[in-house]
Every structure is written in C-alpha cells, then in structure tokens.
Structure 1
Amino acid sequence: MPKTVPIPFSEPPWLMGMPSAYYNNSHRKWQKTCRALVDELLMPEAGEWEKAGDVPEDLYSRFAAANFLIPNLSAPLPVEWLHKLGIHTLPGGLKVEDFDYLHTLIYVDEMSRTGSLGPSGAITTGVAFGLPPILKFGNKQLQERFVPDIITGKKRICIAITEPGAGSDVSNISTTAVRSDDGKNFIVNGTKKWITNGLWSDYASMAVRTGGPGPSGLSMLVVPLLNTPGVNMRRIRVGGQSSAGTTFIELDDVKVPVSNLIGNEGHGMKYVMQNFNHERLTISISVSRLSRVALSSAFEYCLKREAFGKTLMEQPVVRHRLAKCGADLEAHWAWIEQFTYCMTKLSEEEANRELGGLTALAKAQAGRVLEVCASTAVLLFGGNGYTKSGQGEIAERIYREVPGVRIPGGSEDVMLDLAVRQLVKNFQRKTKELETSMGGSTGSSKL
C-alpha cells in the first residue's frame, strides 16, 4: 500500500493505479528503477542547481558510471556496440536488446520530475541528440573513433545546428566547411548559438555548409570543441534551463579531418531532419511532466490555501481552471503514449515517414499545454507564484521554461506548418499509390 495518496494530476494514469494496455512488467520494473536513480542523483538538489545556474562537475560521470546515460539514445539501442563495450544490461537488469520506446518514455518522464529542464538537460541533451547521427549515418571507421568514449561517458558530445541567423530554417545555415588545399581537412568558419551542453563537450555533431545554397549544400561533421585551436565558446544566460550549459560557439579556421564527415557529403539536411524526430518526441514527453508538476503543485496549494473564508479549492472559478488544464494535460499525455506505442511497432523508416510530421505537431502541442498549465499555476499561487523562493517557486520556475519549449527543436509556428505539410504529402503519395494499384482515379479531391 502506498504511504500517501498522490495529488490529482501528479502522475500519469498508469502510475495512479489505472489499467493500461501499453506497459508490461519490464516497463513497470524500469519505472521503479528510474525513479530510484532520479531520486538519488537529481531530486535532492536539482532546484538549487537550477538557481545557481550550474550542476556539479561529477554529475555526468555519476550518470555514466550507472549506465544511466544510455537510455537517452533512441530505441532500439546500438546493441552491437554496447555488447562490444561489455554493456549487456541497464540499471535494474534491463537487457539492452529489450529496450524499446516505451522505456524511453519512462526514462524521459522520470528525469523531468525536478520541475526544470535544466539539471536533466545538463547531462542528457548532448548525448541524446549528438551521438545518434554518428550511430545512424557514420561509417564504421568514424564510429570506431568516437562511439566507445562517448557511450561510456569518457567524452562528451553535443548537437550544433542553430546559428544566429538560422534556427528552424535549417536550410539557411551559413557555417562553412571548405576542403583544404591538400584535401585532408575541412576548414570550418562560422558561429553556432544556443547550443545546449556545448561548454562541456569534446565534440559536436555539427551542420555545416560544404556546398552551395539550400538544403543540398549541407553536410554534418564531428567537430572537435574543447581545447581546439580556433574554437571559442562562451555561456549564454537564458530564462529557463539555466543549468543546462547553453553556449555560443565561434569557429575561426578550425581544422577538421575529412574523415570526420558523417555519412555522405550533401546529405546533412536529411540527417538533421531525421534526428529532429527523436528530439521532438522526447521534448513532448519531458514537457508533459513539467506540466504535471506545475498543475499538481497548484492543485495541492489550492487544497490548503484559504481566501474569503474558504479554501481556494472551494471556489468554483479555481476548480474550473484546474479542470481545463487537467483535460488538456491528460489528453496530450494519452496521445503521447499512443504515439510512443506506435514507435515500438514501426520500423525506423516507417516511423520517419508516417510520424515525422505528427512528431512536430506533438512537440508544438506540448508547448501549448505547458503554457496553460504553468500560467494557471502561477495565477493560483498568486504572489507566491511570482516569487523565486518559497512555496510557489516551482510555478515561477516552470513558467520561465515555456519559451524554451516553444522555440528550440523547431519553433511552434514552424512545427504546426510542417505537420500539415507532411500530412498533405503523405495523403497525396498514398492517393497516387492507390490510384496506380486500382488502375485509375479513386475520385479523391486534390489538394
């Protein structure tokens, strides 16, 4: 029997005792394992770290030592590499070959219980989005050089796409990589901005322009950062995620071996777009938990705070606000669970084709849900919700996270447009395939 009754909306339904068709015993055991490790490594001091704007230097190595960085990689995990490095199980005894996207969902959800994307982002963002391009698109030699040290936490990596003049418009990237006269190196020049974990990263999986204008001129390189001539990095102070190491990177004639090319030259746009799918799904999951923390904290406060001779919970207008937020939150979470379940059944190619646009839509919706839950929490906490200390500080802190959710990983308006364009593209493709198979028109209207 639980020692306490959970506050409404504080946990997903499946952790509130409700039946679920998605989770098996492996997932339930994994959830308990993740919760115990997050309670040990993050929860006690995460709030103070976020206030201070930094995490302890040894936090990353502590996660690495527990093999607790590996779940950041997209499922299925790189089993061959993990076995080669002597890693056969994750914490709690979960076999690496049994890890699926529902395990990913559980891990990301648990890591976000601190009520801030900063402390968790300080140790997860780089490896989660910087290593997959090497694993998925890099040749054997490239992987041999970088994968072992990154997977085991001996070295760190980040993803470096955004620039001062190019964010969601990836095809507008201007950082150049020009081959040297002897053909052995790329000479990289340009700037990258808002690069999470950049300050601490030995390498970046970086989008660069190796060809002409537009998407076809983009490639990806593994660019060395720390202690590299021509690389200058400085911290950017942002409104939320203050402890995640947001970085401005200047690259001045940086020599990068041609062998550091990820995949094929000129295919960078494809690699970036596919990598975004994992990023946007995990953002959606983590943001749902932030919304949960904000809403349940406000719910608990309203049960005990009195005004005009009664608790806030006895005021109909308060219940109305909580109800609307709860409906938005649980509806979004139900979609994310169903979405993630699809990921366990589809091949990577099928998922990229069928869910790419919807991933963008899920990410956009997560930001909208967070905005309403966080703003409602601030209002219900009143003056306490506008204060950076005390009983309402969690609402104030989460409210500052909202822009950092609605903008990075593809800004909201771009995501909404991308989602519909992808849905139209898939509709037209399937209509054409159906017409071909039937030997004529289906009678469908054209868009």
Structure 2
Amino acid sequence: MPEPIPFSEPPWLCGHPSPYYNESHIEWQRYCRQFITENLTQYAMQWENEGQVPEDKYSKFAKANMLIPNLPAPLPKQALEAVGITTIGPLRVEDFDGIHQAIYVSEIIRSGLNGPASSLCTGIAYGTPPLLKFADKALQQRVVSDILSGKKRICIAISEPDAGSDVANIQTTAKKSADGRDYIVNGSKKWITNGIWSNYASMCVRTGGSGANGLSVLLVPLKDQKGVSMRRIPVSGQKCAGTTFIELVVILSHHLDRSLISLPRLDDVEVPVENLVGQEGMGMKYIMTNFNHERLTIAVKVTTQARVALATAFEYCMKREAFGAPLMNQPVVRHRLAKAGAQLEAQWAWVESFVYQMGRLSKEVSDAKLGGLTALAKAQAGIVLNECSQCAQLLFGGNGYTMTGQGELIEKISREVAGARIPGGSEDVMLDLSVRQLYKNYQRATSKASL
C-alpha cells in the first residue's frame, strides 16, 4: 500500500494504535473501500456534474445489502431476516456495530462530494428508523420489507418553508376525518432530500395544538400518488441528492375506488389512520431521538469531507510551484495547513469517541447524556469543513475558484459547506441546543443530589 498523503486517512488507517477498531472493523473497511470505489467513488464527479445518480445504482447497492449500513446499530435482525438479509459483505447482521456504521459513512463520501452519497443513503438512513422503533407491527409488515430490500424508497420530511430547525413550529396539519378512518393532511414540506424518488415519507405533522406536544409522525405515500406534487429544488451544492419541495394538494385515500377518481384541487391529503407511527402527540420525541443518529452520521460524513479537502490541498501544495519552488516551501502555506489539520484531527478524535460511547450506552441513556453533545459535534463538523474548504480554496488560488480542471473538486466542496452547516439542525441552533441540554442535565443531576 502506498504511503497516504498527509491528512488523507484517519490515524487508525495510517497504522496508529487505536482502542476502537478490531479485526472485524479492518476487514469491513477494506470491503467498503472496494465496493464503494467500484460502484460510487470513481463516478461521483460525473454524476454530480450530470445532477443525477443512475437509477440502477440504488438497486445495485440494495442487492449487495449495502444500503443497510445506513441504519443505526444494532441492526433490526428480525426485520432483515424476513427479507433474507443475514449478512452484509463479510459481516453477520448481528455483529454490526456503530463503528462499522461510521466506517461505512466515512467511506461513502471519500469522493469528497456529498450529493452522490446522499442520493443513495439519506432517505433510508433517516426515514426508516422511526418505523423500526415506533410503528406498530401491522404498519411495519406492510412497508418495511420493501424498504429494506430496496423495492421501495423512503425519506424523512420535517422541514417546511417556514419551519426548519424550529421543529416545534411545524404547520402541516393532520386532522381526523368525520368517520375517523383517515387523517386529512394539509401543508407542504421543503428541502426534503431524496423526496423526488421516494414512495413514502416519514412525515412530521401537527395532529394537536401548538407547540411540541401537538406533533405526530405519519407515513405519507408520495410517489405516483394522486394529490401529491413534488418538484426538485435547485441548490448550490449536492446537485444529485434530489432536494425536493412536496405539496399535499389533492385528496388521497385508502379506498381504491376513490383514489382513482379525478378530484378537484384541494388543500388536503387523506392518509389512513393506520399510517400513524406510534402514538399521537409523540412526534417531537420520535424526531429528536432520530436526530441523534442523523447528527452523528452527518458529523462523520462532514469530517471526512473536510479530510478530503485538506488532503487534496496538501497534495497540490507539494507539486504546485510558485516563486521558483513548491508551495509547500512557503511557511505561510504550511501554517495554514497546520491550523486546518489541527481542527480536523481533533474533530475526528471527538467523533470517534462519540461513536464508541453510543455503542456502550443504552439508547435512552445515550439520548439523555449525549443528545446536546451530538448536536455540538454536528455543528463543529460544519465549522471544521468550512476551515478546511477555505484553506484548500485559498491554496489552490484561481484553480480553486474554477469549476473545471485541477481545482474542480475543491470548488465543488466549497459550495457544499452550507449544506453541512444548515441541514440536520442549523449551526447556531445546534450550538445553543447543546448548552441548553448540558445545563438542563446539570440542573437535574444537582437537584437529585440535594434531595
């Protein structure tokens, strides 16, 4: 194996001792590197320029069971066995842990581009867990097998035109019909990754009054359904991730004869009550629990993207000459690389520790103790990406500002920084959330100690 470019690999892959990784993780990383390079990484730039990942790639990942690692560990063994999935590459399903997942997430963005990876992964990663954790058996049996096998696609639909990180302010409503058989859903969702390709959305809606206690989660049918209008939203980065605007504009129903009738445009969508995920009024809890998984995977992915940017800049500075010598001979260049590199490696070590801790704590304890810190790690990942991207773009000079040629990757990464700092909880909101939760936990602990 050739000597890696500095900063291009995490320390454990450079031969540095680590307490986190065992032989199973090493074998899994090799498998992921080979499969993902062959089926995604080498084509990522082409697909991002075209704005679309070929449709058959999702099926290819599904047939290899390589969509499953997007789910949080431990994997749903019983649900996977129901569709004939007992292994993923060299791993048995029951042996898959959080470190295996972090390796997968890191490997899938080694191209440095989030769009192709998000095109394949985001929907199943964040739309499926609410069903696996909170939906009743009847709803799970109806839809989960098709999602896990890749026959159907799903997304998570939370953000709205007027409610992004402020989840408690969601305005999309779901009210019971007169006969009590359906929820009448009225509203819209915006910035929904993978929405345009999805058969279903795990959708946060308002079934009660104002505030967090009025929220619930519904499984809403999307693709090829009368009454649901979806269109792609042009965004500055991640062009092939399928960012979508969803409008719920005509009645849908579980009554087949009614669903085939051409109806006038209404501001309603009718969804069977059986599509309620868990209990009414518990939507905020379900979403927040899901957010911890989402934010940690974002932190892994974004920190890896920062690694790609910085390593690409390091390599460029070794070969690019200016003033009669390689750029690397300039102290100011080395200083800039060092500052970004220190942030990168500190962030990576922090993220690794989170992955380890979450694998050793119960979900309930993890959510309570690490929820705020996970939000902070997600926010910091975006800050580190911004530092590494700016460093790379400045060192590439004009090439880093050019959409083709030597600096094409760096120019594209620079346009994805906002996509790391906003989705999954906007940076300033995450910073505030982290301190509020830490403060709340401290108050709770000290009040109990004083009793």
Normalised to the residue count of structure 2, the TM-score between the two structures is 0.95
The DSSP-based 3-state class of the residue aligned with 1:162 is: coil
1:348-375 CA distances to partner (integer Å, 9 max, x unpaired)?
A: 1111011000010000000000000001
Which residue type is aligned with residue 196 of structure 1?
Answer: T
SS at match of 1:250: strand
- Corresponding residue for residue 443 of structure 1: none
- 1:356 corresponds in structure 2 to 371
Aligned pairs, number: 433
Amino acid at match of 2:328: M
C-alpha deviation, 1:270, in angstroms: 0.6
Q: Give distance in 1, aligned partners of 2:82 and 2:52.
A: 34
Cα deviation 1:241-289 (Å, max 9, x = unaligned): 1100000000022111000000000110111111111000000000011
Q: Does 1:41 align with 2:39?
A: yes
SS at match of 1:178: strand
* 2:317 maps to which of 276, 279, 302: 302
2:107 matched to which residue of 1? Answer: 110
Query: What code does the residue aligned with 1:331 have?
Result: A
Contact 1:119 1:243 in 2 (8 A): yes
Q: Using the alignment, how far apart are the partners of 1:110 and 1:178 within structure 2?
A: 43
Q: What is the aligned counterpart of 1:221 among 218, 222, 227?
A: 218
Determine which of 100, 112, 117 is the counterpart of 1:120: 117
Whichever residue aligns with residue 25 of structure 1, its letter is E
Q: Which amino acid aligns with 2:343?
A: D
Distance 1:79 1:352 in 2: 22
Q: Which residue of 1 aligns with 2:328?
A: 313
- Kept in 1, the 8 Å contact 2:41–2:108? The answer is no
- State the SS of the aligned residue for 1:360: helix
Q: CA deviation at 1:237?
A: 0.8
Task: List per-residue Cα deviations over 1:125-158 (Å, max 9, x = no partner).
Answer: 0000000000001111111111100000000000
Moved more, 196-205 or 386-395: 386-395
Q: For 1:85-105, what per-residue CA distance to the aligned partner results, in whole angstroms no more than 9, with x for missing partners?
A: 22111112x011111100111
Corresponding position of 1:58: 56
Contact kept? 1:229, 1:254, Cα under 8 Å: no
Letter in 1 for 2:20: Y
1:367 to 372, 382, 386: 382
Q: Does the CA contact (< 8 Å) of 1:306 and 1:312 recur in 2?
A: yes
RMSD: 0.7
* CA deviation after TM superposition for structure 1 residue 182, in Å: 1.1
The TM-score normalised by the length of structure 1 is 0.96
Task: Find the counterpart in structure 2 of residue 398 from structure 1.
Answer: 413
1:416 deviates by: 0.2
Equivalent residue letter for 1:312: L
- Give the gaps of 5 or more residues in structure 2: 250-267
Distance in 1, matches of 2:207 and 2:245, equals 21
CA distance in 1: counterparts of 2:147 and 2:79, whole angstroms: 11
SS in 2 for 1:193: strand
Q: 2:303 aligns with which of 272, 288, 291?
A: 288
**3-state DSSP of counterpart to 1:58:** helix
Distance in 2, matches of 1:262 and 1:354, equals 25
Distance across 1 between alignment mates of 2:223 and 2:200:
7
Q: Aligned equivalents of 1:169 and 1:366: distance in 2?
A: 20
Counterpart residue type for residue 311 of structure 1: P
Residue 430 (structure 2) pairs with residue 433 (structure 1): no
The 8 Å contact of residues 71 and 129 in structure 2, kept in 1 or not, is answered as: yes
Q: 1:86 aligns with which of 64, 74, 84?
A: 84
Q: By how many angstroms is 1:84 displaced? A: 2.3
Match of 2:10 in 1: 12
Q: Does 2:293 correspond to 1:278? A: yes
**1:166 aligned to 2:166?**
no
Letter matched to residue 57 of structure 1: E
User: Structure 1: how far apart are the matches of 2:20 and 2:450?
Assistant: 36
| 1:131 aligns to 2:146 (yes or no) | no
Structure 1 residue ranges (4+ consecutive) displaced by more than 3 angstroms after TM superposition: none
Aligned-residue identity in percent = 64
Match of 2:196 among 196, 199, 216: 199
Partner of 1:444: none
Distance 1:84 1:207 in 2: 28
**What amino acid is the match of 1:22?**
Y
String of CA shifts for 1:92-128, please: whole Å, max 9, x gaps.
2x01111110011100000010111100000100000
What is the aligned partner in structure 1 of residue 263 from structure 2? none
SS where residue 328 of structure 2 aligns?
Answer: helix
Question: How many Å apart are 1:178 and its aligned residue?
Answer: 1.1
Show the counterpart of 1:441. Answer: none
| Cα displacement (A) at 1:433 | 2.0
Give the one of 163, 172, 175 matched to 1:175. Answer: 172
**Secondary structure, aligned partner of 1:403:** helix
- Kindly indicate whether the alpha-carbon contact (under 8 Å) linking 1:158 and 1:204 is maintained by their aligned counterparts in 2: yes
AA in 2 matched with 1:176 = T
How big is the shift at 1:187? 1.1
1:246 aligns with 2:261: no
Given the alignment of the two structures, is residue 77 of structure 1 paired with residue 75 of structure 2, yes or no?
Answer: yes
**In 2, Cα distance between the equivalents of 1:30 and 1:196?**
27
Output the CA distance in 2 between the equivalents of 1:83 and 1:243. 32
- Aligned residue number for residue 65 of structure 2: 67
- Superposed displacement of residue 293, structure 1: 0.6
Per-residue CA deviations over 1:310-350 (Å, capped at 9, x if unaligned) read 11000000000000000000000000011110011001111
Q: State yes or no: 1:388 paired with 2:386.
A: no
Q: Give 1:309's aligned amino acid.
A: G
Whichever residue aligns with residue 181 of structure 2, its letter is K
Partner amino acid, structure 2, of 1:152:
S
**Counterpart selection for 2:24 from 23, 26, 37:** 26
What are the Cα deviations for residues 355-400 of structure 1, in whole angstroms up to 9, with x where unaligned?
Answer: 0000100000000000000011000001100011111111101111
Whether 1:328 and 2:339 are equivalent positions in the alignment is no
**Cα distance between partner residues in 2 of 1:373 and 1:290:** 9
Question: Distance in 2 between the 1:266 and 1:382 partners?
Answer: 53
State how far apart, in whole Å, the 2-side matches of 1:191 and 1:85 are. Answer: 33
Distance 2:172 2:48 in 1: 32
